Amino acid sequence: MHHPPLATGGYPEGRRLGQVLMGATTTGGATAQVINPKSTLGTGGPLTVTGMPFDCNNWSENGPGIIETPQVTYDTKLAGDTANVLQADD
């Protein structure tokens, strides 16, 4: 199975600095799933979370609006492959 490239940023070979994260941000439903996961904790998804639309005409701090970004990570030390949904709420 091919995994996304890892960023090494000049660190010694094999040392991971970070992992490329991809996902579409939405106020609707966001689903993350690892196909054929190698997980030590959990199942690798699917994990689905639903955001909340913003009220752009009546914008206020702590007002309505939540965005969701589905992502997967591979080969983490603690859990192996994981499905995640990042949630941002003001």
Span 29-76, pLDDT tens digits: 999 999 888 988 888 889 999 999 988 888 888 888 999 999 988 888
Structure tokens at 70: 């589905």
Q: Which of 29, 84, 90 is nearest to 55 (CA)?
A: 90
Are the C-beta atoms of 7 and 18 separated by less than 8 Å?
A: yes
Cβ-based neighbours of 26, under 8 Å, separated by 6 or more: 51, 67, 68, 69
Cα–Cα distance, 27 to 13 (Å, whole number): 39
How would residue 24 be classed by pLDDT, with cut points 50, 70 and 90?
A: confident
